[in-house]
Amino acid sequence: MLAKRALTALVLSSALLLGSTGCTFMGSVESLKPYQATDGAQLDLGNIKLRDIIYFSNGKKAELFGSIVNSGLDTESVSIQYIDANGNYSLPLVETVSAGQKIDLGFNGGKALSFGIYPPAGTMLTFYVAASSPNGQITNQLNVPVSPSLPLYSSILDSLNAPATKN
């Protein structure tokens, strides 16, 4: 009788243990999935990586912020252009990015890019990005959010309100 109770207790405890932890045997581990931990957009064009790209606008002044990284061994040229729904376009802004270099746009001393468009916060803008290297050219679209006035970005938005300085 004692052996029967011990066996029953063992079976029940095993069933309880497997039943309460079984989801970890079949579920994927969420922390291993890549995700975008920023409000900005990302784009990979071969060795050129655009990271945390976001457009700030206060209605009178607007600029594109983020980073461009070259993870390759060759210098590459990156152009960013805006084309509106009517086919009007801005001249492409071109940056030369050396091998292994990171260019900050709008922070860490880097200059933000100005396109002369002032959309309302909460909209999306489509930019056309091209990366040219000795191996050829890669182009793609990048949908960039226009940032609302979040407290996190107050210092950036304040810099948009500051009067322009002459260099």
**φ, ψ dihedrals at 135, nearest 5°:** -90, -5
The answer to whether the CB of 47 falls within 8 A of the CB of 133 is: yes
Predicted local confidence at residue 46, as pLDDT = 92
Q: What is the DSSP string of 23-91?
A: HHHHS--GGGS----SSSEEEEETTEEEEEEEEEE-SS-EEEEEEEEE-SSS-EEEEEEEB-TTS-BPP
Residue whose pair of structure tokens reads 């002032």 in the numeric block: 118
Domains of the chain: 41-149 (2.60.40.1890)
Predicted local confidence at residue 114, as pLDDT = 86
Predicted local confidence at residue 60, as pLDDT = 78
- List per-residue pLDDT tens for the chain, 167 residues long: 677 777 787 777 777 766 666 555 556 666 666 655 567 899 999 999 999 999 988 777 888 999 999 999 999 999 999 987 787 788 778 889 999 999 999 888 888 888 888 888 888 899 999 999 888 899 999 999 988 656 666 666 666 656 555 54
Q: What is the pTM of this model?
A: 0.70
Predicted local confidence at residue 167, as pLDDT = 45
- Show the tokens assigned to 84: 């509106």
Predicted local confidence at residue 128, as pLDDT = 93
List beta partners, residue 35.
none
- Show the tokens assigned to 57: 């606008």
